[in-house]
C-alpha cells in the first residue's frame, strides 16, 4: 500500500509563501498592527456608536418581565405598573417609560458618569431601523488614513531632498487631502455610517431645561433619530458647559438637517445672534478626527449661522 502523507500547515505555508502577501504588504500590515491602539476604539468610540445603543435597547427588551401580580405589589401609580423599574436601563428610557418619568429618574445636572456612563440617551424607532457597519467603516477608514500618512511622508521626504519650500509641499499635499476626504465619505456611504449631529454646549444652569425640551421632542418624533447629553465627570464638571447632541439620519439630507435646526430654534434652544452651534458627521467621530487634524479635514460640516442666514 502506498504510504499516506500528512501535511502540516507549516509544510504548506512557509515564511517565504505568497499566502502572507508580498514583503511590502507584510511590512505594512505589521506596522499597522504595531501602532493600532484598541483602547481608543473601546473607550472613546464603541460606547457611543448607534449600534451599541441599539444593542442595549434590545437587551432590555429581552429581559423577562414580571408577572402582573408582582407588578401590582410594587406599583405606586398606573405608570409604575407599565414600567418594570428593575429592568430600566440606567441612562436611557425603558420600554413604556414616559419622557416625564425618564427625565425625573435621570437628570443631567445630578447624574454622574461613574453611575450610568458618559452619556444619557433618548431615541426614536428610526434608530432601530438604521443599520450601519461601523466595524467595516472604521477598518477601511483607518486604512485610508494610514495610506494618506504614507503618501504625505514620501512627499515630505522628496521635498526635503530637493530643499523645497513649505508652500511647494502644501500644493502637493492638498490634492491628497481632498481625495482622502472624498474617499472617507465614500466608505461611510458604502457602510451606511451616514448619521450626523447638531452639537450644543449648554451651561450648568440650563442643562436640565434644555435636555427636557430635546428629550421630549425626540421621543415624540419631532426632532432627530437620537439625542444625548454628557453626564457629570469629575469634581469640577458642575461649573462647565456640557455637550448635547441631536442626531439626524443622513448628513447628506440637508433638508432634514435644516428641519432639525429649525425645530431647535422653535424650541428656543438656538437663538439668532447668539453663540452658533455646529453640525458634525459621525464618520469623522468614528475615526477620532478632531479640529487641527493632519488630514486637512474640516470637522464641522455646517453652522447654525450659515443655515439660518440662508448661506446653505
Closest by CA position to 77, among listed 51, 104, 58 = 104
Least confident stretch, 14-18, 25-29, 183-187, 223-227: 14-18
Residue 11 lies in a domain: no
Q: Are residues 278 and 177 in the same domain?
A: no
More confident residue, 16 or 85: 16
* C-alpha dist (Å) from residue 295 to 40, 62, 136, 149, 190: 19, 43, 20, 8, 21
Of 58-62, 183-187, 298-302, minimum mean pLDDT range? 58-62
Contact predicate 50/43, CB 8 Å: no
Which pLDDT score is estimated for 235? 61
My answer on whether 172 and 203 are in the same domain is no
- Domain holding 295: CATH number? 3.30.760.10
Q: Are residues 204 and 256 in the same domain?
A: yes
Residue with cell 469629575: 234
Residues 184 and 250 in one domain: no
Q: Over the Cα atoms of the chain, what is R_g?
A: 25
Number of domains in the chain: 2
296 or 44, greater pLDDT: 296
Summarised one tens digit per residue, pLDDT across range 42-67 is 655 666 566 665 565 555 444 444 44
Residues 166 and 144 in one domain: yes
CA distance 292 to 59: 39
- Mean pLDDT of all residues belonging to the chain: 80
Cβ(283)–Cβ(190) below 8 Å: no
- What's the order of all strands across the beta sheet hosting 278-281? 119-123, 226-230, 242-248, 196-202, 278-281, 300-303
Q: What is the pLDDT of residue 42?
A: 61
Dump pLDDT digits (tens) for 63-108.
Answer: 444 444 433 333 322 222 233 333 456 678 887 788 788 888 899 9
State yes or no: pLDDT of 20 exceeds 50. no
228: which residues sit within 8 A by CB, 6+ positions away? 48, 119, 120, 121, 122, 244, 245, 247
Q: Please write the tens of the pLDDT for every residue from 248-272.
A: 999 999 999 999 999 999 999 999 8
**Domain range holding 281?**
196-309
Whether 243 and 154 map to the same domain: the answer is no
State the DSSP H helix or E strand holding residue 180, giving kind and residue range, or none if neither: helix 166-190
* pTM for this predicted structure: 0.71
Amino acid at each position: 500500500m502506498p504510504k499516506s502523507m500528512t501535511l502540516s500547515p507549516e509544510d504548506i505555508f512557509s515564511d517565504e509563501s505568497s499566502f502572507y502577501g508580498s514583503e511590502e504588504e507584510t511590512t505594512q500590515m505589521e506596522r499597522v498592527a504595531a501602532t493600532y491602539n484598541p483602547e481608543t476604539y473601546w473607550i472613546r468610540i464603541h460606547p457611543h456608536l448607534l449600534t451599541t445603543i441599539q444593542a442595549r435597547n434590545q437587551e432590555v427588551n429581552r429581559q423577562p418581565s414580571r408577572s402582573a401580580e408582582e407588578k401590582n405589589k410594587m406599583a405606586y401609580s398606573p405608570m409604575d405598573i407599565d414600567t418594570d423599574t428593575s429592568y430600566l436601563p440606567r441612562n436611557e428610557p425603558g420600554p413604556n417609560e414616559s419622557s416625564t418619568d425618564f427625565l425625573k429618574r435621570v437628570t443631567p445636572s445630578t447624574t454622574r458618569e461613574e453611575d450610568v456612563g458618559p452619556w444619557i440617551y433618548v431615541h426614536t424607532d428610526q434608530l432601530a431601523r438604521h443599520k450601519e457597519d461601523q466595524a467595516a467603516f472604521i477598518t477601511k477608514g483607518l486604512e485610508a488614513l494610514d495610506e494618506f500618512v504614507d503618501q504625505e511622508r514620501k512627499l515630505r521626504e522628496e521635498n526635503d531632498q530637493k530643499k523645497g519650500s513649505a508652500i511647494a509641499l502644501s500644493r502637493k499635499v492638498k490634492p491628497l487631502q481632498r481625495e482622502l476626504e472624498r474617499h472617507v465619505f465614500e466608505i461611510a456611504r458604502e457602510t451606511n455610517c451616514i448619521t450626523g449631529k447638531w452639537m450644543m454646549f449648554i451651561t450648568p444652569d440650563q442643562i436640565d431645561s434644555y435636555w427636557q425640551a430635546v428629550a421630549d421632542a425626540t421621543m415624540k418624533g419631532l426632532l432627530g433619530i437620537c439625542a444625548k447629553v454628557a453626564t457629570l465627570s469629575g469634581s469640577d464638571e458642575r461649573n462647565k458647559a456640557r455637550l448635547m447632541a441631536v442626531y439626524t439620519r443622513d448628513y447628506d439630507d440637508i433638508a432634514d438637517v435644516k428641519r432639525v435646526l429649525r425645530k431647535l430654534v422653535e424650541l428656543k434652544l438656538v437663538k439668532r445672534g447668539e453663540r452658533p452651534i455646529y453640525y458634525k458627521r459621525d464618520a469623522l467621530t468614528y475615526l477620532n478626527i478632531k479640529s487641527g487634524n493632519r488630514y486637512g479635514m474640516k470637522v464641522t460640516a455646517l453652522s447654525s449661522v450659515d443655515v439660518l442666514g440662508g448661506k446653505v
